[in-house]
Chains A and B, each alone.
Chain A
Amino acid sequence: MTSAPGPSAPDPSASPPERELGAHPEHQGRMGFFARLMENDVAYSFTRSPTAIIAATITVLAILACFAAPLIAPFDPFDPAQISLWDGKLPPAWAEGGQAQYLLGTDNQGRDMLSTILYGGRLSILVGLTAVALGMTLGVALGVISGYFGGAVDAFVMRIADVQLTIPGILLAILINGIGRAVIPQELRDDFAIYVVILAIGLTDWPQFARVARGATLVEAQKEYVMAARVIGLPAWLIMLRHVLPNVLRPVMVLATIGLALAIIAEATLSFLGQGIPPTTPSLGTLIRVGNEFLFSGLWWITLFPAIALVTLVFAVNLLGDWMRDALNPKLR
């Protein structure tokens, strides 16, 4: 990337002279955390993007609300003592026949919809985060290793990734999920369902991360700081961990954000198909599925409100990911 500027590329001397940059770090040490954060170009670009601010606000609020569910939810949907079948299928509070204590109505078992959505959202986000973390760790590790060593290792890992990418992700997730359920004994199936779902989504995710990490590693491994580390005589694992990994994380973080949205959807899809989280501890997808059965009986609220929650959450996370991709790409700045 050090090649000379062409007609449209910026000229090095047209940018602020580099020696002036040497002056500002002097006072950088004394600046507060916030001031230093604002020095950062990404943070600056964030404050200039209304979309990013709105998306981040929604995401953060949704995550906070879901994780604070035990504190703020009016009912505990998992506590049978608070559920009464007599209160089942009540419409939202503002509709005819609605009760004030059930703001968004109740489901077929008499659970408060608002509380169930908050608890279900928590489960969805939790599954999404852990699944992405699993896919990212696996994918980045394999990607950096194959990019750094190249040759046979690279060919082997990337061919597996290629083969996996030819199968639609959700089908693969269903397959892994099915195998996972089959090996677990019947009585433990519901308890372990959530882990099986995480594993299924995480194992479906990794090729994307591996590809991005490998591409970035190929670029970084050619740079002179990696050569310097090799000349010093550091072992390969240390070079990959200390030098390559921190420098390939940028594109990976973008992918992880968008991957989070996709993982939440994947979980919802699995649950909607009845392959995921059981209805006793429903996630957003399970709620939508259960509600779907009552949609034609006129009980629209059981499926509509969880669906709105899911769409809003995924949309916000996606917008955030899009902004991040642009902000971290120096070419688009």
Chain B
Amino acid sequence: MTDLLEIEGLDVEFPTRRGTVKAARGVGLRVARGEVLGLVGESGAGKSTIGAAIIDLLEPPGRVAGGRIDFQGESLRGRSEAEMRRIRGDRIGMIFQDPQTSLDPLKTIGEQLVETIRKCLGLNEAKAKARAEQLLVDVGITEAKTRLGAYPHQFSGGMRQRVVIALALAGEPDLIIADEPTTALDVSIQAQILDLIKALCRERNVGVIIVTHDIGVIANIADRVCVMYRGEVVETGDVAQILGAPRHEYTRSLIAAVPRADRRLPRFASVDYIEGGASAFRRIDVKTHWLGAAVREAKGEGPALSVAGLDLSFTLRRALLPKNRKMLKAVNDVSFDVAPGETFGIVGESGSGKSTVARIIAGLYKPDAGVVRLMGQDVSTAPRDPKARAARRSLQMIFQDPYSSLNARMRVLDIVAEPIRFFRLAESEAEVRRIVGDLLDHVGLGAAAARRYPHEFSGGQRQRISIARALASRPRILICDEPTSALDVSVQATILNLLRDLQEELGLTMLFISHDLPVIRQMCDRVAVMRHGAICEIAPAERLFEAPGHDYTRHLIDLMPSMDLLEPTPA
């Protein structure tokens, strides 16, 4: 049987002012009917470019420069826009990453489905409506008939992605291209969507290309895998072979960098494929080093961080009359203590209130009730008290998005030096510069980085700058709010290693917030599980993973993408 889609020697170029960027070089891949091909790679690998090139939707000025794209034995290259439009609807379906923007907010789900079905299949209104209803049932939406009249905003993210899948199926395509279909979704919904895609692929005997950066997704859904690195396919093979016995060095390092959920490792396997120039961690002598001053002063009594009875509601709708106001209880009676030098994790799905707790502790939000104590000092009831202000300085925070957490108009030197200069932690400007250089050295960037601007750095390097800035206040407590969720796995591994090294050397107390259970297991000593603004369970990390006490914890752990395939398969 011939393959559904065959690509050979595909070159994609993006001509820019500063020379041509080759987003794909000599890419070859095949997809058969009833098969899920995983296209995996880190950001900039060119995996989405391949998907866009197949359906001729490359962002201008990108263009296919060479190679073959054969679909069901016919070439897709050099087709007119009108022909491609027919192919896109009828024969190749697409699922995009963000269900928020893939649907037209001004039309009901039914209108969008019926319109697509009528265009692709040429059915009349009534028949198309019946089909639309059937499609919704197929993608697992209950009460399909009434749901047809609903608007996209009335659906949750996961439901919306189901509708997007139904839309992709509307033209009865032979091939579906799914570009990061679950990246914007929570783990529990991710698992359902992946199951759905896999089941539809088998039932309808269609080919599926799933583009993702997530090895866990690949392990769960793909039959075969193409690993891409810098625009080239470095390895193709069966999912078991790729994940169990990778041949190419890049694949090996990529898989090694995935945080393991099944046991705790002393360190992440370091992948220096991308973050070139990140030198090895230099030890810090706390007795003499500038950073050590706060460590030497520290008194070791009581918890470093303690919160009790935190409550915070956000106003959803303002009104004069209290009964018309709508409030959202974002944080509900949250209490915990963190011992000095401990790493305390908070895990939960989006909307669970974990970041809100972090921001209350950091003083960014004022709680409605409850007390935050840093080193025993109450900082929440009278935040302007000099004592509270002094205690606040012992706390610093690292944010999620490395692209918005640095002021683009300041040099790295000024960004990192800001707290040193403001609190006069150094004697002279020369000393400030020396300290900044030293800090940048410690986070693995090198002192020369000080002269540059943030836009000159990659995501991982920016996160290192953020860490250096946080250290410049000589903190005792570090809050990390999803510090690596915007980064590639290999970069994530190096950043997490750095955080661990720093914590060990400086004896930092760490509050580590993440939605990613494997990362939590690797980083944390104790973990709190949050849901709907409240804490379900607090337990030592190992016990939480081995013997979860709360139903919700068990549910989350069961939903972690299974990594069994990562073990070498016994031959």
Contact = CB atoms under 8 A, between A and B. Distances in A.
A224 B404 contact: yes
Contact of B14 (A14, A44, A228, A247): A14
B251 to A, nearest CB: 18
Interface string B93-137: 010111011100000000000000000000000000000000000
B479 to A, nearest CB: 8
Identify which of A224, A230, A234 gathers the most chain B CB atoms within 10 Å of its CB.
A224
A228 B456 contact: no
Interface in B14-52: 14, 16-18, 21, 23, 41, 43-49, 52
Contacts of A79: none
Given A19-B44, A231-B363, A4 B184 contact: yes
A298 interface: no
Contacts of B179: 11
Q: In terms of DSSP, what is the predominant structure of the interface of chain B? A: loop
Interface string A70-92: 00000000000000000000000
A167 interface: no
Contact of A230 (B17, B274, B364, B466): B364
A114 B535 CA distance: 80
B397 A11 contact: no
B180 A4 contact: yes
Interface in A236-287: 238, 242-243, 246-247
Interface range for A:
35 or more
Contact of A17 (B18, B44, B466): B44
A21 B393 CA distance: 35
A13 B401 contact: no
A18 B101 contact: no
A247 B407 CA distance: 8
Nearest to B230: A17
Interface in B403-448: 403-410, 418-419, 422-423
A233 interface: yes
Given A19-B274, A22-B456, A14 B389 contact: no
A32 interface: no
B457 interface: yes
A5 B183 CA distance: 11
B404 A2 contact: yes
Contacts of A20: 21
A183 interface: no
Given A4-B183, A5-B98, A17-B21, A232 B49 contact: no
A5 B97 contact: yes
Contacts of B94: 7
A82 to B, nearest CB: 51
A221 to B, nearest CB: 11
A230 B363 contact: yes
Given A17-B230, A232-B396, A6 B102 contact: yes
Interface in B470-522: 473, 486
A228 B466 contact: yes
A223 B404 CA distance: 6
A233 B389 contact: yes
Contacts, number: 144
Interface string B315-335: 000000000000000000000
B230 A13 contact: no
A224 B401 contact: yes
B380 interface: no
B399 A224 contact: yes
B138 to A, nearest CB: 22
Nearest to B183: A4
Nearest to A238: B422
A229 interface: yes
Given A7-B102, A224-B401, A234-B418, A14 B23 contact: yes
A330 interface: no
Contact of B17 (A3, A4, A10, A44): A44
Contacts of B97: 4-6
A156 interface: no
Contact of A2 (B59, B403, B406, B410): B403
20 contacts: A4-B98, A4-B101, A7-B94, A9-B101, A13-B45, A14-B58, A16-B16, A16-B21, A17-B43, A17-B44, A18-B44, A21-B458, A224-B400, A225-B405, A228-B469, A230-B363, A231-B364, A232-B469, A242-B407, A247-B408
Given A12-B43, A22-B456, 10 more contacts: A2-B401, A4-B101, A11-B48, A11-B179, A18-B458, A25-B456, A227-B359, A232-B469, A233-B419, A247-B409
Interface of B: 14, 16-18, 21, 23, 41, 43-49, 52, 57-59, 62, 94, 96-98, 100-102, 179-180, 183-184, 230, 274, 359, 362-364, 389, 392-393, 395-397, 399-401, 403-410, 418-419, 422-423, 451-452, 455-459, 461, 466, 469, 473, 486
A-B interface, 10 closest residue pairs, ranked by CB to CB distance from nearest: A6-B101, A17-B44, A224-B405, A4-B98, A224-B399, A25-B456, A11-B48, A16-B21, A246-B409, A4-B97
